[in-house]
Amino acid sequence: MPTRRTSPEVDAICWVFWLLRLPQLFCTCVAFSLVADMGIWRGAVGNWAMSFWCVCFAMTLIISIVELYRRWSDFPFFWHNICVTYTCYAALICLSASIMYSITHVQFLPYGPYRDRAIAATAFSCIASVLYVVEVAGLWAWYELKEIFFYEHTTRALLKVLETFVAGVIFAFLSSTSLYLHQPALEWCVAVYSICFILAAVVLLLGQAEWKYMPPRPFSIFQLVLSLLSVLLYVSALVLWALYQSNEEYGGQLQRSSDMGCTNGLTYTLCFWDRKLTVAILTAVNLLVYVADMVCWASQVSVGTGGQSSAPDPLHSQGVSLQSSGSP
């Protein structure tokens, strides 16, 4: 029976800290500091990016302290699951912050020291995302995650991380309740995002807890049903959100120029039209992720059915072998 490592070695912890964790702390801290020092030129998008970098810095610092003092045994979940899942989120967070900050804010800043600081912060954020990706690849190889429940098929774990992450970004763009309040169809879309996020988060937590004693066949069917339900819900959300985005009869605006908030130049925040369009795009992206998740679980269920139907009965095989050995 193959063995697996459930805790890192001291030498490996030191190498990871000096080669990856310390540069991650430095890059996220510098990016946060550069944007924080911009004052009124920071904007709402800058505040949003700063919160992402701050979370990455704080979590990386906590994980580094726990590993340096070898306190991972105090956690109820296996430490490798926590580290890998957080590192995946951190890579996505820094990458999304780099893209959104540069596209929606940096390019509109006037040339000068503030623009240079914003560009430098974006560069450090990109470096941090690369470092987190390298750490994810290293952790997969180090902990031999192919032998760990829920990470046995890495694609499923990554899809769950993507589902919850994209939903979190959608919630960030829906922070202004005026986008959907008093519109039942859009309120239904927000409910869909919340329901699917909770379902994906629960499954992710089950994987973190390593509930490997659950029957694999019923669990796969349960996952398939949840994925199918999420796909149907997201299809309804995509149709309704796109309809209310483009149809003027429902208060939508097909052209960006129709939104007066988008024609005032740099307002340090995204206008409603941009937010609605971004939510529609992210809804389509998450729908594709859920479809891929459903396909993975459907293939798992079909493989399990085929394996059960084609697998020989050991008692029957034993009886046949005994009869053949006892026959003249």
Max mean pLDDT among 10-19, 178-187, 216-225, 264-273 falls in 178-187
Residues 27, 155 share a domain? no
Residue of 199, 246, 207 whose CA lies nearest to 225: 199
Lowest mean pLDDT among 32-41, 102-111, 261-270, 309-318: 309-318
Distant-in-sequence, close-in-space partners of 240: CB < 8 Å, separation ≥ 6: 185, 186, 188, 189
Gap between the Cα atoms of 244 and 92, Å rounded: 29
Residues 190, 207 share a domain? yes
Rounded to whole angstroms, what are the CA distances from 95 to 74, 127, 132?
A: 31, 9, 10
Are the CB atoms for 60 and 129 separated by under 8 Å? no
Residues 169, 128 share a domain? no
CB atoms within 10 A of CB 244: 20
Q: Within a domain: residue 319?
A: no
Count the domains in the chain: 2
- Residue pLDDT, tens place only, 63-92: 999 888 877 777 666 677 788 888 999 999
Mean pLDDT of 221-236: 92
Distant-in-sequence, close-in-space partners of 161: CB < 8 Å, separation ≥ 6: 85, 88, 89, 92, 204
Gap between the Cα atoms of 141 and 139, Å rounded: 5
Residues 187, 114 share a domain? no
Q: Range of 78's domain?
A: 7-144
Residues 170, 245 share a domain? yes
Q: 150 in the Ramachandran plot: left (φ > 0), alpha (ψ -120 to 50) or beta? A: left
Q: Within a domain: residue 107?
A: yes
Residues 189, 291 share a domain? yes
Q: Within a domain: residue 328?
A: no
* Final residue before a domain boundary, out of 110, 126, 144: 144
* Final residue before a domain boundary, out of 111, 144, 177: 144
Residues 48, 93 share a domain? yes
Q: Within a domain: residue 311?
A: no
Which pLDDT score is estimated for 328? Answer: 41
137 pLDDT higher than 60 = yes
Q: Within a domain: residue 203?
A: yes
Residues 12, 105 share a domain? yes
- Residue pLDDT, tens place only, 281-307: 999 999 999 999 999 888 888 876 544
Residues 169, 135 share a domain? no
316 pLDDT higher than 70 = no
Q: Within a domain: residue 63?
A: yes
126 pLDDT higher than 60 = yes
Global confidence as pTM? 0.77
* Final residue before a domain boundary, out of 144, 179, 207: 144
Distant-in-sequence, close-in-space partners of 284: CB < 8 Å, separation ≥ 6: 238
Residues 214, 287 share a domain? yes
Residues 244, 137 share a domain? no
Q: Within a domain: residue 322?
A: no
Residues 211, 125 share a domain? no
Q: Within a domain: residue 260?
A: yes
Lowest mean pLDDT among 51-60, 159-168, 268-277: 268-277
Of residues 96 and 177, which shows the higher confidence score? 96
| HEC profile of the chain | CCCCCCCCCHHHHHHHHHHHHHHHHHHHHHHHHHHHCCHHHCHHHHHHHHHHHHHHHHHHHHHHHHHHCCCHHHCCCCHHHHHHHHHHHHHHHHHHHHHHHHHHCHHHCCCCHHHHHHHHHHHHHHHHHHHHHHHHHHHHHHHCHHHCCCCCCHHHHHHHHHHHHHHHHHHHHCCCHHHCCCCHHHHHHHHHHHHHHHHHHHHHHHHHHCCCCCCHHHHHHHHHHHHHHHHHHHHHHHHHHHHHHHCHHHCCCCCHHHCHHHCCCCCCCCCHHHHHHHHHHHHHHHHHHHHHHHHHHHHHHHHHHHHHHHCCCHHHHHHHHHHHHHCC
